[in-house]
Amino acid sequence: MPDSHPPQEDPTVSRGPAALPHAAAPAREELLGGLGAYVDASRPEFERRLAELVGIPGVSADPAHAGDLARTAEHAATLLRDAGLSARIVPTAGYPVVVGEHLAGTGLPTVTIYNHLDVQPADPDEWHTEPFRLAIAGDRYAGRGSTDDKGPALTALQAAQFAVGRGWPVNIRFVWETEEEIGSPNFEAFVRAELPRLATDVVLVSDSIWIAADRPAIDYGLRGLVTFEVTVTTGRNDTHSGLTGGPARNPLAELAGIIAECVDPVTGRVLIPGFADAVAPVTDDELDGFVASGFDVDTFMAAHGLTSLRTTDTREVVRRIMAEPTFEVHGLVGGYTGPGVKTVVPPRATAKLSARLVPHQDPHAVFALVRDFITARHPDAVLELEAAMPPYLGPRTGPYAEAAADAVEYAFGRRPAFVREGGSIGAVLTMNEHLGAPVILTGLSLPSHGYHAPNEHYDWTQTAGGIRMFAHYLAHLTSLTA
């Protein structure tokens, strides 16, 4: 699709307060003059910055690394200032959020770029290099957090530095969280508290993965999630099935029956009447985009270690991941789980369950539906809500999506596929809801980069493309008046 494609808004999707007119191409091209040379020249600086951040092991899941997360935030603030932005470290009840800003002027468009700087744990035994020392081999940057999400954060920073240095009329704000890997427990409180200082026209989130290395992808939707437990209690202690089996209720068997009433586990079809009533049907056009992402069933199976699937039809597989709700069993607690079989009848059993949700399912409404369905049949089953996250549907067409697609095409030479993410990202929902701005997921990571895996890496190709992508998006924004 050419840059001059007329902007169209999709009235069904969420969006920010202001509609953006399409940017004037000549002005943007002018601003981007010299970007190629800047990108090339950026490389040593980018690599130094990435090495410095990777060298601080900010593992948010491990309290022993609390000091490293404080150091991460401090060093991130230094890097923002080096790039010509202001920086402040905003404390939370957990680890802080680093906010960097370049305020070019009131009335100018504002973009917020979200990344996170905390990382997954790393077991050195599984790594070929030291996880917390950046190993540069040609274009490849190996180290924990290199692609998730320090590399993309610094890629965007290089682009912002280009814009700030040239005095572009656009307000740029970075929001760098340090608790993403532990579920962003304090991010909503941060956003609420800082709301007056976080006004923005659009949010870019760069923490997602292309489906295939040769096809850029933009996520415009996320599944929601509701997690809950169902408990059946029939006694006070283990009994011996020889002594009680027959008249005694078996809470594990009853939970198995409850699960089988809720879902056909072979097909995955949810059997609860009304469960899918609020599901917005996915269009053929959307499905075409999912498939065009380069999704490959064999690659998917190999990447996740799956040896069989409910279906191997590509279109059906992507439809299920990106646009269908689920009902999953994650664990059953109760009874005997050691070696062999011990004939106990437990007094209580709990099933750990969840449902992934798609637009426009409401997690609380779904929980109430599931609870009522189960307790109508099993009055003494006790359901407890654990966590609820609504699904997210951002723009797939319209000016925000077009601007991102144009930037991606400019940077990587190919228009992106518009896909949805099967998982849930709390920060996206929080920002969309509280900032009232559309969130565009312009990820830069590749499937081969090893998110959460040993020997995680990032690379210069994605960095260089990413700088161009963000610069193009910023240039586009300069043509707008907020």
* Segment 82 to 141, residues that bind a second copy, using CB under 8 A: none
**Closest C-alpha among 469, 447, 471 to residue 457:** 447
260 binds a second copy (CB under 8 A): yes
According to DSSP, the β-strands at 344-345 and 239-240 are antiparallel
Site for a second copy contains 476 (CB under 8 A): no
Between strands 417-421 and 217-222, the pairing is parallel
d(CA 482, CA 478) in angstroms, rounded, equals 10
291 near a second copy, rule: CB under 8 A: no
481: which residues sit within 8 A by CB, 6+ positions away? 107, 108, 109
Given candidates 22, 71, 140, 352, which one binds a second copy under the rule CB under 8 A? Answer: 352
Q: Are 409 and 280 in contact (CB under 8 A)?
A: no
Is residue 174 within 8 A of residue 100, CB to CB? The reply is: yes
Q: Which of 106, 337, 376, 413 touches a second copy by CB under 8 A?
A: 337
Side-chain-side CA neighbours of residue 462 (13 Å): 33
**What DSSP letter does each residue of 356-377 carry, written as one string?**
EE-TT--HHHHHHHHHHHHHHH
Within 182-221, the residues that bind a second copy by CB under 8 A are none
Q: Which is nearer to a second copy, 451 or 460 (CB)?
A: 451
Alpha-carbon distances, residue 168 vs 234, 457, 475 (angstroms): 68, 32, 8
Note whether 374 binds a second copy by CB under 8 A: no
Nearer to a second copy, 45 or 229 (CB): 229
Strand 344-345 relative to strand 382-389: parallel, antiparallel, unpaired? unpaired
**With CB under 8 A as the contact rule, which of the stretches 82-90, 93-101, 189-197, 422-430 interacts with a second copy?**
422-430
Q: What type of residue is 94?
A: G
| Region near a second copy per CB under 8 A, out of 7-15, 21-29, 67-75, 227-235 | 227-235
Options 50-58, 156-164, 184-192, 228-236: segment touching a second copy (CB under 8 A): 228-236
Nearer to a second copy, 250 or 455 (CB): 250
State yes or no: residue 281 binds a second copy (CB under 8 A): no
Which amino acid is located at 81 in the chain?
R
Q: Please count the other Cβ atoms lying within 10 Å of the Cβ belonging to residue 133.
A: 13
- Find the angle CA(36)-CA(38)-CA(41) to the nearest 5 degrees: 110
Q: Which is nearer to a second copy, 16 or 391 (CB)?
A: 391
Residue 223 in contact with a second copy, rule: CB under 8 A: yes
Q: How far is CA 482 from the centre of its chain?
A: 27
> Which of residues 67, 91, 245, 274 is near a second copy by CB under 8 A?
245
236 touching a second copy, by CB under 8 A: yes
Q: Does 453 bind a second copy (CB under 8 A)?
A: no
**In the block, residue with structure tokens 């959020």:** 97
Contacting residue, 14, 120, 326, 461, with a second copy by CB under 8 A: 326
Tokens of 429: 């929902």
Question: In the structure encoding, which two tokens stand for residue 134, read together?
Answer: 């950046």
DSSP string for 42-59: HHHHHHHHHHHHHTS--B
Instruction: Out of 53, 113, 263, 467, point to the residue binding a second copy (CB under 8 A).
Output: 263
Single residue of 324, 409, 456, 459 touching a second copy by CB under 8 A = 324
Residue closer to a second copy by CB (options 189, 260) is 260
| Of 143-151, 168-176, 344-352, 402-410: span binding a second copy (CB under 8 A) | 344-352
**DSSP letter at 23?**
P
Q: Provide the 3-class DSSP secondary structure of residue 482.
A: coil
- Closer to a second copy by CB, 173 or 420: give it: 420
26 binds a second copy (CB under 8 A): no
For a second copy, the binding residues in 384-403 under the rule CB under 8 A are 386-387
Piece in contact with a second copy (CB under 8 A), picked from 114-122, 136-144, 315-323, 409-417: 315-323
Per CB under 8 A, 157 contacts a second copy? no
Among 63, 308, 376, 413, binds a second copy (CB under 8 A): 308
Return the residue of 53, 97, 252, 419 that touches a second copy, per CB under 8 A. 252
Is 309 or 368 the residue whose CB approaches a second copy more closely? 309
Using the minimum distance from each CB to a second copy, give the nearer residue, 14 or 354: 354
Q: Is 419 in the site for a second copy (CB under 8 A)?
A: no
Residue from 167, 196, 247, 413 binding a second copy (CB under 8 A): 247
Determine whether 8 is exposed, middle or buried from the number of CB atoms within 10 Å of its CB (0-12, 13-18, 19+): exposed
